[in-house]
A and B are shown apart, each in its own frame.
Chain A
Amino acid sequence: MSSLQEIRFALERYWHERGCLIHQPWDVEVGAGTMHPETFLRVLGPEPWRVAYVQPSRRPADGRYGDNPNRLYKHQQLQVILKPAPDDVQEQYLKSLQAIGIDPADHDVRFEEDNWESPTLGAWGIGWQVLLDGQEITQFTYFQQAGGIDLSPISAEITYGLERIAMYLQDVEDVYELAWSGDIRYGSVRHEEEYQLSRYSFELADVELHRRLFESYLDEAWRLLGREERRTALAAYDWCLKSSHAFNVLDARGAVSVSERAGMILRIRKLACAVAATWAAGDRPAEGAGA
Chain B
Amino acid sequence: MPELLLEIGCEEIPAPWLPELGRQLETQLSKLAGAERLSPRELAAVWTPRRLALRAVVDTRQPDLEEQVFGPSLKVSRDASGAWSKAAQGFARKHGVTPEELQDAPKDPASPDERFLLVSRHTPGRPARDVLSGVFAGLLRSLSFPKRMSWDARLDDGKEGFPFGRPIRWLIAVLDGEVVPFTIHVLATDGQGDAPVESGRSSRGHRFLPREAAGRPVEVGSFADYVAKLEESYVIVEPERRERRIREGLEAAGATGAEVPEGLLTEWRDLVEYPTVVRGGVPEEFRRLPAEVLRTVLVHHQKYLPLADASGTVTGFAAVTNAAESAAPAIVRGMERVVVARLRDGAFFYDEDRKRALADRVADLAGVTLHQGLGSYADKAARLEALIEKAGAAVMEPAERADACRAARLAKADLTTLMVGEFPELQGVMGGLYLEAEGGAPAGVPEAVRWHYHPLSVDVDSAPAGQVQGRGARLFAAVSLADKLDTLAGYFGLGLVPTGSRDPFGLRRAGQGAVRVLLDFWPGGEGRPRPSLRRWVEAAAAGFAGSVKRSPDEIAEELNAFLLDRLRYVLGARGYPADEIEAVLGAREPEALDDLGEVRARIEALHGVRASAREDFDHLAVAFKRAKNILAEQAPPAVDPEAFQEEAERELHAAVSRLNGAGSQSYDAALRGLASLRAPVDRFFDDVLVMTDDRRLRENRQALLGAALALFYRIADISRLGG
Contacts and interface: CB of A to CB of B under 8 A. Distances in A.
A161 interface: no
A259 B369 contact: yes
A91 B338 CA distance: 25
Interface residues of B, number: 51
A281 B383 CA distance: 54
B190 interface: yes
Contact of A258 (B149, B195, B372): B372
B337 A108 contact: no
Nearest to A71: B345
B327 A142 contact: no
Most A-side CB within 10 Å, residue of B189, B271, B304, B319:
B189
Contacts of B327: 105-108
Interface string A127-162: 010001111000000101000001111100000000
A111 interface: yes
A168 B272 CA distance: 23
Contacts of A110: 12, 271-272, 322
A87 B330 contact: no
A107 B149 contact: no
A187 interface: no
A182 interface: no
B334 A135 contact: yes
A94 interface: yes
A131 to B, nearest CB: 9
Interface residues of A, number: 44
B592 to A, nearest CB: 38
Contacts of B197: 87
A101 interface: no
B322 A108 contact: yes
Contact of B335 (A84, A104, A109, A133): A133
Given A134-B302, A142-B151, A259-B372, A105 B209 contact: yes
Interface in B317-338: 319, 321-324, 327, 330-331, 333-335, 337-338
Contacts of B166: 126
Contact of B319 (A48, A106, A134): A134
A173 interface: yes
B189 A84 contact: yes
Given A104-B208, A106-B330, A134-B334, A69 B341 contact: yes
Contacts of A154: 149-152
A86 B11 contact: no
B703 interface: no
Most B-side CB within 10 Å, residue of A46, A105, A144, A258:
A105
A253 B693 CA distance: 87
A258 to B, nearest CB: 4
Contacts of A128: 12
A46 B337 CA distance: 44
Contact of A107 (B195, B319, B330): B330
Interface string B197-208: 100000000011
A112 B338 contact: no
Given A48-B191, A115-B147, A259-B369, A108 B341 contact: no
Given A48-B189, A83-B191, A126-B166, 8 more contacts: A70-B341, A107-B323, A110-B12, A133-B335, A144-B149, A151-B150, A153-B191, A154-B151
16 contacts: A70-B341, A83-B191, A87-B169, A87-B195, A87-B197, A91-B215, A104-B208, A107-B327, A108-B322, A110-B271, A134-B338, A135-B338, A142-B167, A154-B152, A173-B337, A258-B369
Interface of A: 46-48, 69-70, 82-87, 90-91, 94, 104-113, 115, 126, 128, 132-135, 142, 144, 150-154, 168, 173, 257-259, 291
